Structure 1
Amino acid sequence: MSALKTEKSISSDARKAKVALSVFFNIMDEWHVKAKDQITLLGSPSESTYYKWKKGNVSSLSSDTLERISYVMGIYKGLGILFPTREQADAWPNKSNRDFNGLSAMEYMLKGSMINLWDVRRYVDAQRG
């Protein structure tokens, strides 16, 4: 592989990572999610890594982290379709839900496993029909 292709790949990975994290952090702000919980949703990077990401210092993200962000983005988008206002959509993740054994979707996602994020994403998609 030529040096030029490698450089392009690195800059492309960095752009993708920065955009993904920017969207993630904007959603977290709208959902009023604490930093420690954001770290859990991102797959538990170190606090120093989290704060570097928060400042936009990132060159790439693991496929695990990108997948987690993708689920959060899908949930956010799905809620925007389901609810008539963004305010209602943004409140939903913190409301208790019998389908998550009385936990809110956020509490369920904060169990930390990728499957929990996937379950909430699937649930929201199913509600959309």
Structure 2
Amino acid sequence: MSTLMPDHLDQSRFFPENRRRLSAPAMRTFLAIADLWRLDEGQRLLILGFPARSTFHKWAKTAREHGELTLSVDTLTRISAVLGIHQALGVLHRREQEGIAWLRTPHGATVFGGRLPLDLIACGTQEGLMTVRRFLDAAQGGIYMEPVEALDRQAQPYRDTDLVIS
């Protein structure tokens, strides 16, 4: 009989040594995405769970210098959600700037209520982040995504030459 647990039940991912191994690379990646998305310091702090400014700057400096740090499970979960959102935007939009425009354009889907998806991402709660991530994951899976009028008017249909068949 195997004593191995399924991944979703494996609590070892929360052990300090695993969090230490992941924290600096996760923070560097978060900072790169935050720069790409043009997030201000307040948005960055809210997304990360509102650490003290000095703590955030210490994390950023340590990560950029490839030092060691150990982030909390909550902070790593928030960064993971940002990574998932960024990945989904890359899948759903042809160009990086289109994905960023989607974040910064009011959206008619019920979960956004006419607000910017970025407002929900930076509302300060883990649930806001996860809501946007789940919305984009569903869109990737083919579940209907309500149109964003300003962006969809400019959309160009795919051509046969755009398809890659391997």
TM-score (ref. length: structure 2): 0.68
**Cα distance between partner residues in 1 of 2:120 and 2:54:** 25
Q: Greater CA deviation, 69-78 or 88-97?
A: 88-97
Determine which of 41, 45, 51 is the counterpart of 1:45. Answer: 51
What is the number of residues matched between the two proteins? 121
2:35 to 29, 33, 41: 29
Q: Aligned equivalents of 1:114 and 1:55: distance in 2?
A: 24
- 1:93 is displaced (CA, Å) by 1.2
Q: Which residues of structure 1 form unaligned runs of 5+?
A: 1-8
Mapped to 2, the partners of 1:105 and 1:72 lie a distance apart of: 12
**Following superposition, which runs of at least 4 residues in structure 1 exceed 2 angstroms of deviation?**
9-15
C-alpha distance in 1 between matches for 2:88 and 2:97: 14
Cα offset for 1:53?
1.2
Contact 2:81 2:133 in 1 (8 A): yes
Contact between 2:104 and 2:116, CA under 8 Å: does it hold in 1? yes
Contact 1:11 1:59 in 2 (8 A): no
By percentage of residues, which structure has more helix? 1
- 1:125 counterpart = 2:137: yes
1:74 aligned residue: 84
Say whether the 8 Å CA contact 1:10–1:59 is kept in structure 2: no
- Structure exhibiting the larger radius of gyration computed from Cα positions: 2
Comparing 106-115 and 42-51, the one that deviates more:
106-115
- Does structure 1 retain, via aligned residues, the 8 Å contact 2:46–2:124? yes
Change in 2 beyond 3 A, CA 1:35/1:78: same
104-113 vs 116-125, which moves further = 104-113
Equivalent AA in structure 1 for residue 87 of structure 2 = K
2:35 aligned counterpart, secondary structure: helix
Instruction: Give RMSD over aligned pairs.
Output: 1.6
Percent identity over the alignment is 33
Once the two structures are TM-superposed, the CA of residue 90 in structure 1 deviates from its matched residue by 2.2
Higher relative contact order (CA 8 A, sep 6+): 1
Q: Secondary structure at the match of 2:62?
A: coil
| 1:19-75 Cα shifts (integer Å, max 9, x gaps) | 000000000001000011100000010000001111125520000000000000000
Q: Residue 111 of structure 1: CA displacement?
A: 1.8
Structure 2: stretches of 5+ with no match in the other structure: 1-14, 142-166
Letter in 1 for 2:82: V
